[in-house]
Amino acid sequence: MIVRTAPSIRTYHKGKVIFSEGQESKIAYMIKSGTVDIFKIIDKKKTVMGTLRRGDIFGEMSLLANQKRTASAEAASFCELVVLTEEMMNKLLRASPETVRKMLELLAKRVAATDMKASGPEQNDSFIALAAILNLAYKEFAYTPRNKQREIENYKMGLSVKSYTETVKSLAAFSNLEIESFLEIVFKLRLIDIKSIKKGDKSAFVERYINIKDFEQFMPHLRNLYKQMRELGANVDQRMTFMSFTDLAERTGSTPELIYKKLIKEEMPENLLFFNREKALEWGKSKEPDFFKKFRRPRKALEDLESVEDIIFIDNPTLKKALEGFNFYNISILYSAMDQQGRDKLKRNVGKKVAQILLREPPADRDPSDPEVLECCDELLDIVRKLKGVK
């Protein structure tokens, strides 16, 4: 039995269902005391997605995204709940950027927990979840105090796509490609505007910024368009099965740079690499005819050389002189960790006899991070710097 002790507070005894998945509602709750379980029915079994405690807010998706309950809530112990209406929630968000940040963290963590435990048709709607996170992230950005705005690079351009992506990925289980796909859809729906600034004259990368003209109406408009798209059969919320270099690096404990290098050295199969046909062809049109026929590595200053892969940046006379003190074993160690371009350069700068042995009986490949490779490389680079008079 629900006992109403005050107009804005409701109490629930342990085991009492507060609301059920699929219900429509215009209120959220903040826990004043006690605990609440958020659960879903998956494969006909009750699966608890998380247990919330004092100060936690739940049911907020009904207000932020104007959608039906995406999970059920049950009192895990006797609890007192503060009822939050849409008007109260909006006042709270406008009054306190800290509240926006807290709501963002709660929402993203709940999405992450659901993503780990749910699958199939019961899985949370990723499109709406990303929209709700963008809605809160943009409000946090928009409510930034004036004295803090100057600390944010290019604040007047809008919310940085990089910042939004980092926020989502730090709190929820979404890949870069899923985030990019979502942003592309809401941009095409004209719900957001995206401006770009090139990082540099020679860089193909750009900094992008999100602008939402009427962010107070962003979610209502998105919900209406989303509903229409679903009615027309558009599947906009299907979780993608692809991942970016950054995603793969994070999941394997590597770095995007190392993943690139492994692809170049053909240590990864080519069937793992795909391009978006439309975007790749469109981007290719902007390049000169010779762009795809040549590859130039960016030059490195002598003091910046640090790995066996950087040996190609040493001029031939200096490299030849530095290698004079190396025995065949040390040269073979360096050779074993180089790519083909590096090996060709090394063979040109050692004696003819050594080069022929390397060609006839090449050593087994080693990783550039192999301790012996690192030791030999450091020794070579120290000699090169001394020859060049660089400390």
In angstroms, rounded to a whole number, what is the distance separating the alpha carbons of residues 112 and 106?
10
Q: Are residues 17 and 82 in the same domain?
A: yes
| Same domain? 138 vs 177 | yes
- Section 203-221 average pLDDT: 81
Name the residue among 356, 358, 348, 338 with its Cα closest to residue 315: 348
Boundary residue ending a domain (56, 86, 116) = 86
pLDDT at 296: 66
Residues 122 and 43 in one domain: no
- Last residue of a domain, which of 31, 59, 86? 86
Residue 278, in any domain of the structure? yes
- Whether the per-residue pLDDT at 139 is higher than 70: the answer is yes
| 4 pLDDT higher than 50 | no
CA distances from 230 to 225, 254, 346 (A): 9, 38, 60
Portion of the chain with pLDDT greater than 70, in percent: 79
Residues 114 and 202 in one domain: yes
Q: Which amino acid is at 249?
A: A
Report if residue 293 sits inside a domain. no
pLDDT band at residue 200 under the 50/70/90 scheme: low
Residue with tokens 């940040």: 101
Least confident of 29-43, 51-65, 118-132, 203-217: 118-132
The residue among 86, 121, 150 that closes a domain is 86
Banded model confidence at residue 100, pLDDT cuts 50, 70, 90: low
Task: Supply the CATH number for residue 113's domain.
Answer: 1.10.10
Q: What is the pLDDT of residue 119?
A: 44
Q: What are phi and psi of 373, to 5 degrees?
A: -65, -45
- For residue range 332-365, list pLDDT tens digits in order: 999 999 988 889 999 999 988 999 999 888 899 9
Q: Does the pLDDT value for residue 7 go beyond 50?
A: no
Q: Does residue 274 have a pLDDT over 80?
A: no
Task: Answer whether residue 313 is part of any domain.
Answer: yes
The pLDDT of residue 228: 79
Highest mean pLDDT among 75-79, 124-128, 235-239: 75-79
pTM of the model: 0.48
Tokens 């009904």 belong to residue = 62
Q: Which residue segment(s) compose the domain that 125 sits in?
A: 96-241
Please return the burial class of 143, using the count of CB atoms within 10 Å of its CB with bins 0-12, 13-18 and 19+. Answer: middle
Whether 137 is in a domain gets the answer yes
Strands 57-58 and 27-33 come out as antiparallel
Tell me the range of 2-6, 28-32, 95-99, 225-229 where mean pLDDT is highest. Answer: 28-32
Same domain for 145 and 235, yes or no, is yes
Q: Is residue 294 part of a domain?
A: no
Q: Do the domain assignments include residue 226? A: yes
Cα distances (angstroms) measured from residue 198 to each of 127, 207, 210, 358, 364: 28, 6, 15, 44, 43
Domain of 18, CATH number, reads 2.60.120.10
Q: Do residue 59 and residue 157 come from a single domain?
A: no
* Residue 346: CATH number of its domain: 1.10.220
Does residue 189 register a pLDDT over 80? yes
How many domains is the chain built from?
Answer: 4
Q: Is 340 helix (H, G, I), strand (E, B) or coil?
A: helix
Strands (E), 299-367: none
CA 116 to chain CA centroid, Å, is 17
The mean-pLDDT minimum among 45-49, 89-93, 209-213, 243-247 falls in: 89-93
Considering the domain boundaries, does residue 295 fall inside one? no
pLDDT of residue 247: 76
Angle between helices 126-142 and 97-117 (to 10 degrees): 160
For 295-320, write each residue's pLDDT tens digit.
666 677 777 788 888 888 889 999 99
- Residue 30 and residue 59 in contact, taking contact as beta carbons nearer than 8 Å: no
Residue 296 lies in a domain: no
The answer to whether the beta carbons of residues 384 and 314 sit under 8 Å apart is: yes
Q: How confident is the model at residue 144 (pLDDT cuts 50, 70, 90)?
A: confident
| pLDDT at residue 204 is higher than 60 | no
Mean pLDDT of the chain: 79
Q: What is the pLDDT of residue 287?
A: 81
More confident residue, 306 or 230: 306
Q: Which helix (H) or strand (E) holds 38?
A: strand 36-42
230 with 138, same domain: the answer is: yes
Tokens representing residue 391 in the block: 């400390």
Residues 157 and 20 in one domain: no
Residues 266 and 325 in one domain: no
Instruction: With a cut of 90, say whether residue 2 has pLDDT above it.
Output: no
DSSP 260-284: HHHHHTT-S-GGG----HHHHHHHH
For residues 100 and 237, membership in a common domain is answered with: yes
Alpha-carbon distances of 127 from 58, 176, 181, rounded to whole Å = 19, 14, 10
DSSP 218-230: HHHHHHHHHHHHH
Looking at the fold, whether 192 and 221 belong to one and the same domain comes out as yes
Q: Are 103 and 212 within one domain?
A: yes
- Highest-pLDDT range among 42-51, 111-120, 283-292, 311-320: 311-320
Percent of the chain with pLDDT over 90: 20
